Amino acid sequence: MSINTVYVLPGPDRTWHVRRGGGTRSFLRFTLMEEAISYAKELSTNLNGNLILTDHPSSSSASLS
pLDDT tens, 1-18?
Answer: 578 899 999 998 899 999
- Cα separation of 17 and 48, whole Å? 20
For residue 22, is it left (φ>0), alpha (ψ between -120 and 50) or beta? left
**Helix ranges, the chain (H):** 33-46
Helix, strand, coil percentages for the chain (3-state, nearest 5) = 20, 30, 50
> Mind listing the pLDDT tens digit for each residue in 17-65?
999 988 888 889 999 999 999 999 999 999 999 999 987 655 545 555 4
- Cα separation of 46 and 55, whole Å? 23
